[in-house]
Chains A and B, each alone.
Chain A
Amino acid sequence: MYRAKIHIILRPSILDPQGKAVAHAVSTLGIAGVQGVRMGKYIEVSYDGVSEAEARKATEEMCKKLLANPVMEDYRFELETVQ
């Protein structure tokens, strides 16, 4: 069995007002040195009965077609083996 851990984040060229608001809150907390905050999504997808290569291909396809919108988001994922 495999589990894909998928991270989706707004592309650097896209403004992230949520991240900005969080960065502002962080600074009012009195925490110094924060240069910026970017918000994204984290998704886990579990696989059973498929090979590692198949799981990788499936994850790639769903990221491209559904989970991320390539106009505004980038994605990356790791595939881990689970018992």
Chain B
Amino acid sequence: MIDGKIRFGVVVFPGSNCDHDAYYVCKKLLGQDAVFLWHKDADLKEADVVILPGGFSYGDYLRCGAIARFSPVMREVIRFAEQGGPVIGICNGFQILLEAGLLPGVMLRNASLRFVCKYVHLRVENARTFATNQCTPGELLRIPVAHGDGNYFADADTLARLEARGQIVFRYCDAAGTCSAEANPNGSVANIAGIVNETGNVLGMMPHPERASDPLLGYVDGRKVFSSILTHVLSRAQREALRDGNHVLVGQGRS
């Protein structure tokens, strides 16, 4: 954090294509600091948050996210996550988090076998996470998806654990908020669109909040994900400052 601004680190793999969108939202729309983190760098440049953006890292060779997981930068991301640092993976970023073992489960081919690119409705199932604290429980968000492998799967035991611990953050639903099979764009088990890890600091989601953040693009619901992260990091910094006896309130007056 510098001058009350938080720093978003956006990882760039060969084949990432939503990195600039995420950077734009953090820097231009939220007015925060943002840096790109090259996949060969073993340094997170003091980022407060790491974003694994969408795209087709390494051409989706072998399995989506399987190769990206072994990038030098991912060793640092895993270390950062293990220390409690907030990490969000969007679309291909979600797939990478699954392959890296930071989140449970796998992504299968869409049940339709087609690439799906459209707006969907999401129901916020857990509004207490670092990326949803600006949402209300059960709130509906309109955010686009764009993927060929977004069919989330986890075995029954894993699924029961995710449910019991409130780790399911977003589900696909219809405009009325019903999680039906018709509203499921890819066949994901239990209409899962996004999950968080047990410790609550690593979140993966298939839909693209960065594509629904600028009013110019029509929808701004995705911005809540980024403003939630901002709120989370600022309030954490404030708590740490108070605990350390430094009474300068970091980020005061910001939202």
**Chain A residues with a Cβ under 8 A of chain B:** 13-15, 17-18, 21, 66-67, 69, 71-72
A14 contacts B105, C-beta separation under 8 Å: no
Q: How many residues on B have C-beta within 8 angstroms of the other chain's C-beta atoms?
A: 17
B62 contacts A66, C-beta separation under 8 Å: yes
Q: Choose one: A13, A14, A17; the contact of B113 (CB below 8 Å).
A: A17
A18 contacts B105, C-beta separation under 8 Å: no
B106 contacts A66, C-beta separation under 8 Å: no
Beta-carbon contacts under 8 Å, B188-229 to A: none
B-side binding surface: helix, strand, loop or mixed?
Answer: loop
A21 contacts B113, C-beta separation under 8 Å: yes
> B139-159 vs A: 1/0 string, CB under 8 Å?
000000000000001110000
CB distance from A10 to the nearest CB of B (A): 8
Please report the C-alpha to C-alpha distance between residue A66 and residue B70 in the assembled complex, in whole angstroms.
9
Q: Which residues does chain B contribute within 8 Å of A14, judged by CB atoms?
A: 108, 153
Q: Which residues does chain A contribute within 8 Å of B154, judged by CB atoms?
A: 71
A and B contact pairs by CB, cutoff 8 A, 20 listed? A13-B155, A14-B108, A15-B111, A15-B187, A17-B108, A17-B109, A17-B110, A17-B112, A17-B187, A18-B109, A66-B66, A66-B70, A67-B62, A69-B63, A69-B66, A69-B99, A69-B106, A71-B155, A72-B108, A72-B153
